[in-house]
Each structure stands twice: as structure tokens, then as C-alpha cells.
Amino acid sequence: MIRELIDTDLEAVAGGTSNVVFSLPTAIQSLTQTNSITQTGVALGADVVQVAGPQSNVGAQVATFS
């Protein structure tokens, strides 16, 4: 008897059927990176000396959702 009352109450509240629709967005990520360095080779006699100048690293990560 108690179980029948509980089942009846749930059906009255839920309506017996339910239709839930949802969608998840898609994430697209991209990474752009640029590395640059200036190098100079100097010959001193028979040996070559490499001199490295300033180095820069630039990176950007972008995410878009659709």
C-alpha cells in the first residue's frame, strides 16, 4: 500500500514521460608560436665563432566555441 502511494505520487509529479534536449558546445583550440633569434658567425683564423643575439618567444592560445 505504501509503495503504491509513492509510485503514484512520482508519476503525478513527473507526468509519466519526459523529454530533455541539451547540446554541448565544441571547443576548438589553436596555438600560435613564433621563436626568433639572431645569429652571427665570425671567422677568427680557422675557427668560426657563433654569436647569438637576442631571442624572442611569442605564443598565443586561442579557444573558440561553436
Please answer whether residues 33 and 58 qualify as being in contact, where contact means their C-beta atoms are separated by less than 8 angstroms: yes
Q: How much is the pLDDT for 20?
A: 76
Please answer whether residues 66 and 29 qualify as being in contact, where contact means their C-beta atoms are separated by less than 8 angstroms: no
Q: What is the pLDDT of residues 13-57, one digit of tens each?
A: 555 566 777 788 888 989 888 988 888 888 877 777 778 888 888
- For the entire predicted model, the pTM comes to 0.36
Closest CA to 63 of 31, 19, 40: 31
Residue 2 has pLDDT above 60, yes or no: no
Q: How much is the pLDDT for 4?
A: 55
Residue 7 has pLDDT above 60, yes or no: no
